[in-house]
Structure 1
Amino acid sequence: MSTSTDEFLDLLRDRRSEIHAALTAEQFARYQDGVRALRAARDDVRAVREALRAVRTALRALPPGTELSGRLGQVRGAGPAGAAVLPDADRLDALIRLLESADWPALEPDAAEIARGVRERLLTAPARGADRLPAGAAGDPAGAGLIRLTDRAGHDRYPDFQFDPDTGEPLPVVQRINRLLLSDQDPWGAADWWLGGNEWLDDAPAALLGRISDEVLTLAARELMEEGAW
């Protein structure tokens, strides 16, 4: 029995908790590198096969006898049918977002628990799915300056404070500040800045949208970045 590349990606997504728990920080980093190499390979069949081999090698540390470990050798990546090995881009991007948002294995246990708590708190904030994004932002939300958080089920969530409550369009000040905060690289950190308490502003910045000037909000974010406290 063989497993297609896309079936393998689905399995990696569905068993991500098992993978996180089983791998050390170093092993998990090698696994991430392999998946990123798979994306970089694009339609280069040879590069795709090499990246799949790197992913399988990183996952050999998984406990034997599990479904995932048993299917590592069944992935079609060395066969002659080149088209069969090319990954679906959307599946691959979704998996990479999950991996990039799951850095807990690289943290010390206490720090990992804190990070987990912060992320769970941020995911309780009102948010919308990709189906409710305005047309102008749907194609590339990160490029549009929007924070995208991914929950444990793999669903993308866009905190509601980013959008005008009347028109549904992104708020320009939020887009500007998100870019200052490098939200495309660290969406969790940017979301925590907006939704957490801020001593300089004496409130959560998201709660102050429309109540104080855009310039003051922008200055607060710029000061944070310039101080290197990010």
Structure 2
Amino acid sequence: MNEEGRGPSAESLLALIGEHRESIRAALDDEQHALLLTRLRALAEAPPDKDMAVRRALQGVRHALRPLPFDHPARAALDGVRLVAAPPGPATVTEALALVDLLAAAPEPAPTADPTLGVTLGDVTSGDDRTAADPLLREPALSTAEATARCGGAPPPELIRLPDPPRGDRFLEFQFPVGGGTPHPVVLKVNRLLLADIDPRGAASWWLGGNSWLGGTPASLLGRLPDHELVGAATTLVEGE
């Protein structure tokens, strides 16, 4: 428990990552594991005396761990770490620096066969196969040109932008009103909370996944629920309450 009795500290979460690094490596695919390393490096490079920078970087680490199975010890600890409680101390940055080397050295998992695709997941890397295997890239989306037209200029960084080499960046369509118009203001607000600019897949998964607190998929509830309820659900996720 942290000093305010609100759950494990940031340092204890990082210690769990180090302790279970091999099972984390096995549970995450290459892209997810690379993202976790990137987030840990960002945390290690955050100035220890800049509380908000450390909090933001730690939030990025938490988002990178979301793909872990719910029964994984590190995943289970996520919601107990509240970034608005006692601020992470300098040890958080020090621990992150040590973790980067540990996780980078974790053994590669064996390729996993996906019977629904009939291929080895490690073989699906690009082109049409990658798009077919990635459910997020199958979601309705706008091209960069279409999003630029809808925004009246360069799309804001808060919009979820998914890279897709064959077609170019994809902007998930739910972020815009049906029939035209600029992005939903509440989408931009929630996406800022979810760090969509640095973790677009994590933000997209929240919007498109089931949410028991809201009683449905957040994206499908746009315009049906008051904006503050969507913001509240995202805040609950970020703060881990």
TMscore range, shorter length: 0.3 to 0.5
| Structure (1/2) with the larger helix percentage | 1
- Relative to the length of structure 2, the TM-score reads 0.44
